[in-house]
Every structure is written in structure tokens, then in C-alpha cells.
A and B are shown apart, each in its own frame.
Chain A
């Protein structure tokens, strides 16, 4: 099973809402990632977790709050987002963080902020 699942597929939220994105993998991977992709642009890394600990935060605003409750699950909590945060949010996982490790991506959650 080389699948990364993400829920929900689509999410519409207002600027005052709080919502969460969920990502799950059962490949025994110990590194998990959040990327943001605006329309017609390449994905941009947001966060990296390694062994359930936050390793990299690419200067992401605090209205995005990641959480890794266990080795299979990664959440992204959203609060007080802006319309410019509308994007495709991609989750990925890899065995570890070596330069030869393949990242497996989920299909993404398409977020619209009104």
C-alpha cells in the first residue's frame, strides 16, 4: 500500500472559521510533509515532521498550525485564514529524510477561503 490519503477533498471556510485538514499513511514512513500549491504554480514546502517532531517550518504564518499525533497521522489546523490562503494543500510522506528517499503525495485538499 503506497497510498497517502487526505481528507476532506474540498473545503470552503470563512475567515473566522476553524477547520482541520487530515493526512494519513500506513507505509511506516517517519517523515511527513505539508505543501501549499497555488493555481498554476509549483508546490511550496510548508512544514516537515520527522519522527513526530516538527523539523522544518518554512516561515509559515501562525494561522496554520501543524500537528503530528502519531507516526501515521498529520493534521493541519486552520484558523483566521485569509482569501489568499486559498490553494491546494498537499501532504506527503517518505521513509526518512535522506536525499534518496522518495516522497509519496496525497491527492490534496482544495481549500477556498471566503
Chain B
């Protein structure tokens, strides 16, 4: 079945540092890819998405590019802020097969940004 693997955390960075969180996936068909963010005590919020190969999703300074050849969707940000401290989840959704659009999540990566 479909699966998602994220780099393990926690990731601790100083403010203004460069961020990369790796994500690779296995999926049948033509998956859509997502990054969700979870702040403490809250539900998940969509951060960005990409629906086809070579698409780049971007939001709030975060970017990720859909790489079909390497089955990857790595999350990057050039300069992190303390307010970016959260748990980040990579996810895939494939509705083209018998899949019903459910999301398959990675295990999450905790990011802590220190002032």
C-alpha cells in the first residue's frame, strides 16, 4: 500500500537558519502530495500541496517540489522563525486507484526554532 517516510526529528534550529525536512513516498497511480502543520494543541492545517510532477507548492516562505523521479517532496524554508515551531506532516492522497482520497501520513517531524 501507499506509504510516506519522513526524516526523524526533533529538528532544532536557530532563528533565520535554513530548513529542510525530507519526505519520500511510495504510491500507485498519480498521487497528490501535501504538507500539513500541527501547532501545539491544535488540529492540522494545510501548509502547501502539489498535484502533479514538477509542481512546486509554496506558502508562508515554505516550498516543496513534487519529484516523481525520486518520489520525494522535501519541505524547505530559507529562514525559519520561532513561530514556525510545530510538527510537520508529509502526506499523500491517491484517488485515481480504488483509494478514496484518504490521506496517508508520515510520522511527523517536530521542528523547534530557538531565538
Partners in one complex: no
